[in-house]
Structure 1
């Protein structure tokens, strides 16, 4: 019987919506915009809800004889303009005589519905500047919203960002990637500052962003900085990590050895290749990539050394900086060669972090530069929160994870299952 009632109710609701839409069309009333159907419906719904709240507060309805006993009672209405997703809507808010009524659906001094705040945060996460968001709201919704108001709305995420940055983490991760996104911060003068992103692959084969950290002033972070970052991650529950992948971050290997002594520090092969191209003419990129592939796909370190010697003999005279780059990174590159192909695939994948970095960079580049470090972190956090946690890319990653998980279990002596027990 309940299902039948629900079906009838849904049918009535759909019929009501259809009738309202047809009537609006017949009367030449537009759906959105100033004076449109959505604005009128929003006003009607909000005022009805406020009247209902006041009824609950007073304990009796309008025109009810129970209100004649001299106690608290209705005391007129006041006008208030709300910014909604349908545009500015003027509503009439009921008042009570002793001023004790505190509406919940539209709180005192509230000027925006939460949907507008969510819209602003969503647009900010997609990389729009505060000026662009203000222009969008004015054009689409006819609402004038200052840049300061938009900044105030997006500042609401800071509390959530703090909770997210300090949330508990898994006890063990197969792989943690640490990558850097450079932002411009206007602190006296505009200067590049790094923001580090730690992305982990979980035991279940999903991806999880562990946190964000702003780099310190100067030429780079040393072991002391990285010891603080890794200790923070460890204090949040991460007792072990099999492989940590990074791009030649100074001081990081020493900090890893202190926090997770068993963890293998591996240079990022993708970054190593990209950095190689920086020193070469673009016309040589495809050939250099082809000649380097036998080095990082070699079955052993001895074979890799032979292939690298061949590469050096061909390219050292023209591009000595590439040879120096690989020579200096060799100690952190070598561990890669001992791994099963399934593990190599996980380490080498570009999809794992590149899709995230692309979203972050779009948001960062749209801003140009930031007034403070906190505003830059807020922008990056919003970009991360806008990622779809159930996207197809993550499903594909999970589908091919089982073979890699077995390889990790064997290579790292059961540390993954031991860490979860």
Structure 2
């Protein structure tokens, strides 16, 4: 247990040091807006620091001009109080403030009230604000849009919508572009979020993916008129299953899945029309609805086969939503919008750090092809 906690503390301290340098330089590692700024990252030196759980090795980053001075660790001291780092790390994992207070007291013999723990976690708020205002990459190949619901107390307790946008760049790198919170999902909030993304530098998107929220395609066309739109086939299938008899669901689901398993758009269209013909008599209203959105169902076939498995549904963003829900589960509710914003922000920045240099499956094989869509 000590070894596990020691590793967590070491990672937390190193994350804070790297975040300090990022704030000092004003740009993320490898970010294009850092080019020709006159200063840059210049490796790191190592220090050992004794903690309650044994020594940890920290990497203190350096800048090329020698102007950066970190404040996470006291200078020339090998003993550091890492309680605040521990609290922030535990908070990001979804542990409640009361549970953190109890845990810290048991581990260190130091008493923190839940209110004090909450105040310490608020140290992340300036970073969250900077995250919402940061300059965005000028182009993403595809952007996934989805909303999930989490418990929030204003005057009363309700589950409110968290709007989330995750994008994949032409080079295959993915990131949580932004998120926002509103009482319910509606197109006005999505429109405002899209306009905000564009104002912060995201000028070009080749493909948007979303479920069937009313007005989404129109809002996208207004903000990004050159972008294409793919309706999430998984959401479409769920909607169909909700409107047919239980005895027919498995058969319909298996047949509908074949639409995204074809080798070409022509073959997929043939499968779709066969589906129409077979089920139109029994479920004419369902088939009528499918025909109305048919132009948005097979758009993903216009792109290289290596990435089609990633762009026929919003499964990627839903996996991120599931992580958020799992970590938020221990919390009965978030007491304020600010606390919910901080919680989601920590997850978003952690996600972006984790996948910063990873290439999403299939995208590395067709990077040159995807870049050509923007020429």
The match for 1:397 is 360
Which residue of 335, 342, 346 corresponds with 1:371? 335
More contact order relative to length (CA 8 Å, sep ≥ 6): 2
The match for 2:193 is 229
Which residue of 73, 86, 103 corresponds with 2:52? 86
The match for 1:201 is 168
Q: Quote the Cα distance in structure 1 between the aligned partners of 2:239 and 2:81.
A: 45
Range with bigger deviation, 368-377 or 310-319: 310-319
Q: Quote the Cα distance in structure 1 between the aligned partners of 2:363 and 2:99.
A: 41
Range with bigger deviation, 292-301 or 357-366: 292-301
Q: Quote the Cα distance in structure 2 between the aligned partners of 1:207 and 1:314.
A: 40
Against the structure 1 CA distance between its residues 283 and 137, is the aligned structure 2 distance closer, same or farther, given a 3 Å change threshold? farther
Against the structure 1 CA distance between its residues 322 and 185, is the aligned structure 2 distance closer, same or farther, given a 3 Å change threshold? farther
Which residue of 242, 245, 259 corresponds with 1:295? 259
Range with bigger deviation, 164-173 or 278-287: 278-287
Count the aligned residue pairs. 309
Against the structure 1 CA distance between its residues 324 and 368, is the aligned structure 2 distance closer, same or farther, given a 3 Å change threshold? farther
Structure 2 residue runs without a partner (length 5+): 7-49, 54-70, 75-79
Q: What is the deviation of 1:142?
A: 2.8
User: TM-score, normalising length from structure 1?
Assistant: 0.63
Alpha-carbon contact 2:209-2:314 (below 8 Å) kept: no
1:88-167 counterparts in 2 under 5 A? 115-167=82-134
Q: What is the deviation of 1:137?
A: 1.6
Residue 213 of structure 1 aligns to a residue whose secondary structure is strand
Alpha-carbon contact 1:342-1:407 (below 8 Å) kept: no
Range with bigger deviation, 358-367 or 164-173: 358-367
Against the structure 1 CA distance between its residues 208 and 254, is the aligned structure 2 distance closer, same or farther, given a 3 Å change threshold? same
Alpha-carbon contact 2:307-2:363 (below 8 Å) kept: no
Q: Quote the Cα distance in structure 1 between the aligned partners of 2:227 and 2:101.
A: 48
Alpha-carbon contact 1:184-1:368 (below 8 Å) kept: yes
Task: Supply the RMSD in Å over aligned alpha carbons.
Answer: 3.6
Q: Quote the Cα distance in structure 2 between the aligned partners of 1:368 and 1:321.
A: 40
The match for 2:140 is 173
Q: Quote the Cα distance in structure 2 between the aligned partners of 1:264 and 1:104.
A: 46
Q: What is the deviation of 1:123?
A: 0.8
Q: Deviation per CA, 1:228-278: give whole Å up to 9, x if none.
A: 211211111111100011112333222221222100121122333344445
Range with bigger deviation, 245-254 or 171-180: 245-254
Which residue of 365, 370, 373 corresponds with 1:408? 370
Q: What is the deviation of 1:293?
A: 2.2
Q: What is the deviation of 1:144?
A: 2.0
Alpha-carbon contact 1:199-1:208 (below 8 Å) kept: yes
Alpha-carbon contact 1:181-1:195 (below 8 Å) kept: yes
Residue 192 in 1 paired to residue 150 in 2? no
Q: Quote the Cα distance in structure 2 between the aligned partners of 1:251 and 1:341.
A: 29
Against the structure 1 CA distance between its residues 317 and 122, is the aligned structure 2 distance closer, same or farther, given a 3 Å change threshold? farther
Alpha-carbon contact 1:244-1:265 (below 8 Å) kept: yes
Q: Quote the Cα distance in structure 1 between the aligned partners of 2:163 and 2:51.
A: 35
Residue 335 in 1 paired to residue 299 in 2? yes
Alpha-carbon contact 2:173-2:359 (below 8 Å) kept: no
Q: What is the deviation of 1:337?
A: 3.8
Q: What is the deviation of 1:327?
A: 4.3
Alpha-carbon contact 2:166-2:176 (below 8 Å) kept: yes
The match for 2:219 is 255
Structure 1 residue runs without a partner (length 5+): 1-30, 33-37, 39-83, 88-102, 107-112
Q: What is the deviation of 1:387?
A: 3.5
Q: Deviation per CA, 1:68-127: give whole Å up to 9, x if none.
A: xxxxxxxxxxxxxxxx9639xxxxxxxxxxxxxxx9978xxxxxx662111111111111
Alpha-carbon contact 1:127-1:383 (below 8 Å) kept: no
User: TM-score, normalising length from structure 2?
Assistant: 0.70
Residue 367 of structure 1 aligns to a residue whose secondary structure is coil
Q: What is the deviation of 1:212?
A: 1.0
Alpha-carbon contact 1:178-1:245 (below 8 Å) kept: yes
Alpha-carbon contact 2:162-2:180 (below 8 Å) kept: yes
Which residue of 202, 215, 218 corresponds with 1:238? 202
Residue 329 of structure 2 aligns to a residue whose secondary structure is helix
